[in-house]
Chain A
Amino acid sequence: MFAYTIKRLLTLIPTLFAASVLVFAFIHLIPGDPVAVLLGDTATPEEIAALSAEMGLDEPIYIQYAYWLGNVMQGDLGRSIFFQEPVTRVIADGAETSILLALMTMVWIVVLGVPIGVIAATRHGGWIDQIASGGAMFAASIPTFWLGLYLILIFAVTLGWLPSSGFPSVFDDGGLANLRYLLLPSLTLAAPNSALIIRLVRASMLDVQREDHVRTARAKGLHPAKVALKHVFRNALVAVAAAFGFTFAALISEAVVTETVFSLPGIGRLVVESILRRDYPVIQGVVLVIVCLYLVINLIVDLAYAWLDPRVSLK
Chain B
Amino acid sequence: MALLEVENLSLALALSGMLKPVVDNISFSVDAGDTLGIVGESGCGKSLTALAIMGLIADSPIRITGGAIRFEGRDLASISEAERRALMGDRMAMIFQEPMTSLNPVYRIGDQITESLGQHRKLSKKAARARAADLLRQVRIPDPEGRLDAYPHQLSGGMRQRVMIAMALACDPALLIADEPTTALDVTVQAQILDLLADLQEETGMAVMLISHDLGVIAENCKDVAVMYRGRIVEAASAADLFAAPRHPYTVGLLNSIPDPDADKDDLEAIPGRVPTIDEVIPGCAFHPRCAFAQDICRDVRPGDAIASKEHTALCHFPTGGAE
Contacts and interface: CB of A to CB of B under 8 A. Distances in A.
A223 B56 CA distance: 13
Given A220-B119, A220-B167, A311-B151, A213 B93 contact: no
Nearest to B101: A212
A235 B167 contact: no
B98 A212 contact: yes
B94 A219 contact: yes
Given A221-B90, A221-B119, A235-B105, A216 B96 contact: yes
Contact of B87 (A213, A221, A308, A314): A221
Contact of A215 (B96, B105, B151): B96
B98 A220 contact: no
Contacts of A213: 101-105
Contacts of A217: 104, 115
B98 A223 contact: no
B125 interface: no
Interface residues of B, number: 29
How extensive is the interface on chain A, given as a class? 20 to 34
B106 A220 contact: no
A308 B151 CA distance: 12
Nearest to B98: A212
Interface in B141-175: 151, 153, 164, 167
B280 to A, nearest CB: 26
Interface string B20-63: 00000000000000000000000000000000001010010000
A173 interface: no
A311 B108 CA distance: 12
Contacts of A215: 56, 96, 102
Pairs of residues from A and B, 9 with the lowest C-beta to C-beta distance, nearest first: A221-B88, A220-B89, A221-B89, A212-B101, A220-B116, A221-B85, A213-B104, A310-B151, A212-B102
Interface of A: 209, 211-213, 215-223, 231, 234-235, 238, 308-311, 314
15 contacts: A211-B101, A212-B96, A212-B101, A215-B102, A216-B96, A220-B88, A221-B116, A222-B115, A234-B106, A234-B107, A235-B106, A309-B106, A310-B106, A310-B153, A311-B151
Given A213-B104, A314-B153, 20 more contacts: A209-B59, A212-B98, A212-B101, A212-B102, A213-B103, A215-B56, A216-B164, A219-B88, A220-B89, A220-B116, A221-B88, A221-B116, A221-B120, A222-B85, A231-B104, A234-B104, A234-B106, A235-B105, A308-B106, A310-B105
